[in-house]
């Protein structure tokens, strides 16, 4: 058994899978969480074969009621001190706010916003006990931009996660528990493959993106060095810096021009 455990949500693909590979290479046992059990088991076999670690799988829907308590109970059942919490699970939705079902938004907010907060709240005592420990919350460069027309509540969720992580890091500054908001831009993952087909989604698929492995490694490096927010990639850093300084009216005008909507 390793000295510490890393919990990673959304570990079946993309950035989450790369977090699992990186933390496994550090000799950490893993608890990997996602809906797709077959993928979790395949990743478990890969990592246990390559590294002298134990990988625990929890196939569960993160939108389900009480799921955060189930995950925290699993952490305590495993018994290995929790040294890493990676709130990575997420997906994207598109469409106008007035054309999206409330039930779809409720599910989205549970996975993207209230879920990570609840899981962090439940597991903070474990992380403090295992300190030094690390929390990575995956946000987005969208957190620095005004809400993009047609992007639903995605930018708002990511802005919240960034701000929440900053607050968390400030409150934990004397605890040896370090929190970082990872803010990637376009990344080569499966996120667009599971979204409903549309012209906007097809455009996004064509844009160049960073490697998921690079994003995950940079996020791990950032939290280990005590960095509270990391924006991945030079272009994204420039975009975040410019929009942070720009008057809101001008930034909203630029975004509206970049993402025009058809009138109803």
Catalytic residues: 154, 158
Residue partners of 153: CB distance under 8 A and separation at least 6: 93, 97, 105, 108, 109
Helix (H, G, I), strand (E, B) or coil at 129: helix
Q: Which residues contact 218 (CB under 8 A, 6 or more apart)?
A: 182, 230, 232
- The rounded distance, in Å, linking the Cα atoms of 262 and 174 is 51
Terminal Cα-to-Cα distance of the chain (whole angstroms): 59
Let me know: does 4 contact 83? Beta carbons within 8 Å. yes
- Rounded distance between C-alpha atoms, residue 236 and residue 187, angstroms: 11
- Cα separation, 24 vs 242, in Å, equals 37
Beta strands in the chain (DSSP E): 5-9, 29-34, 55-59, 82-87, 133-138, 177-183, 187-188, 210-211, 229-231
What does the longest C-alpha to C-alpha distance in the chain come to?
A: 59
- 213 burial (CB, 10 Å; 0-12 / 13-18 / 19+) is middle
User: CB neighbours (10 Å) of residue 143?
Assistant: 21
Alpha-carbon gap, residue 31 to 36, rounded angstroms: 14
């Amino acid at each position: 058994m390793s000295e510490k455990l890393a919990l990673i949500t959304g570990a079946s693909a993309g950035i989450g899978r790369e977090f699992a590979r990186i933390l496994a290479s550090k000799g950490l046992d893993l608890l990997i969480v996602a809906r797709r059990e077959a993928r979790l088991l395949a990743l478990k076999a890969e990592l246990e074969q390559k590294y002298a670690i134990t990988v625990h799988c929890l196939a569960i829907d993160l939108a389900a009621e009480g799921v955060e308590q189930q995950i925290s109970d699993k952490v305590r059942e495993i018994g290995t001190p929790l040294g890493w919490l990676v709130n990575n699970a997420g997906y994207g939705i598109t469409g106008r706010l007035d054309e999206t079902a409330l039930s779809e938004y409720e599910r989205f907010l549970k996975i993207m916003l209230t879920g990570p907060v609840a899981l962090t709240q439940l597991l903070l005592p474990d992380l403090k006990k295992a300190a030094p420990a690390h929390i990575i919350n995956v946000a987005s460069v969208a957190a620095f931009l005004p809400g993009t027309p047609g992007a639903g509540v995605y930018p708002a969720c990511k802005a919240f996660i960034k701000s929440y992580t900053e607050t968390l890091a400030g409150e934990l500054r004397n605890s040896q528990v370090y929190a970082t908001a990872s803010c990637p831009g376009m990344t080569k993952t499966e996120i667009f493959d599971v979204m409903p087909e549309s012209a906007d989604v097809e455009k996004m698929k064509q844009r160049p993106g960073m490697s998921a492995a690079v994003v995950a490694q940079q996020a791990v490096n950032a939290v280990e060095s005590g960095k509270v927010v990391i924006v991945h990639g030079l272009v994204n850093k420039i975009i975040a810096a410019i929009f942070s300084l720009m008057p809101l009216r001008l930034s909203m005008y630029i975004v509206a021009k970049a993402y025009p909507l058809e009138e109803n």
